[in-house]
């Protein structure tokens, strides 16, 4: 079974802090994704990566950056956390190289910025 893990289920940070959210997948997937999930808005893509050190902006990249130094790990970085970044963050991965491959999701990190 594909396993996607995220470093924390719940996280509380202060405004202005630098925040790292980590995601690890164990199935040698090429593609990895970061979404944020907000009530009434569904899931919105922040960034994705299709290879090590390769990344592309999603629909809402402002205030975020990412890092992918190893294939299995994809980090989301909030350079200076703000209260409007309080949300549920979901990581996902997919095999890549094939159009019709599903995305496998992690359990999510609920981030609260105070």
Q: Three-state DSSP class for 85?
A: helix
Query: Does 48 help bind another protein (rule: CB under 8 A)?
Result: yes
Beta-bridge partner residues of 23: 6, 74
Query: Does 50 help bind another protein (rule: CB under 8 A)?
Result: yes
Query: Does 25 help bind another protein (rule: CB under 8 A)?
Result: no
User: What is the maximal distance between C-alpha atoms in the chain?
Assistant: 41
Going through the chain in order, the beta strands assigned E by DSSP cover 4-6, 10-13, 19-25, 31-38, 42-51, 54-57, 65-70, 73-78, 87-94, 104-105, 109-113
CB nearer another protein, residue 62 or residue 102: 102
The one among 17, 54, 79, 83 contacting another protein by CB under 8 A: 54
Segment lying near another protein (by CB under 8 A), choices 17-25, 41-49, 64-72, 73-81: 41-49
Q: What is the DSSP letter of 19?
A: E
Q: Three-state DSSP class for 66?
A: strand
Query: Does 94 help bind another protein (rule: CB under 8 A)?
Result: yes
The one among 41, 70, 82, 112 contacting another protein by CB under 8 A: 41
Query: Does 10 help bind another protein (rule: CB under 8 A)?
Result: no
Residues that bind another protein (CB under 8 A): 4, 30-31, 33, 35, 40-45, 48, 50-51, 54, 58, 90, 92, 94, 96-103, 105-108
């Amino acid at each position: 079974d594909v396993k996607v893990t995220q470093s924390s289920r719940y996280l509380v940070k202060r405004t202005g802090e630098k925040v790292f959210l980590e995601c690890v997948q164990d199935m040698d997937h090429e593609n990895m994704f970061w979404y944020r999930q907000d009530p009434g808005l569904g899931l919105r893509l922040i960034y994705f990566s299709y290879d090590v050190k390769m990344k592309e902006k999603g629909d809402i990249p402002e205030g975020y950056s990412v890092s992918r130094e190893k294939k299995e790990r994809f980090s989301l970085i909030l350079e200076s956390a703000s209260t409007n970044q309080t949300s549920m963050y979901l990581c996902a991965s997919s095999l890549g190289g094939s159009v019709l491959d599903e995305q496998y999701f992690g359990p999510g990190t609920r981030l609260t910025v105070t």
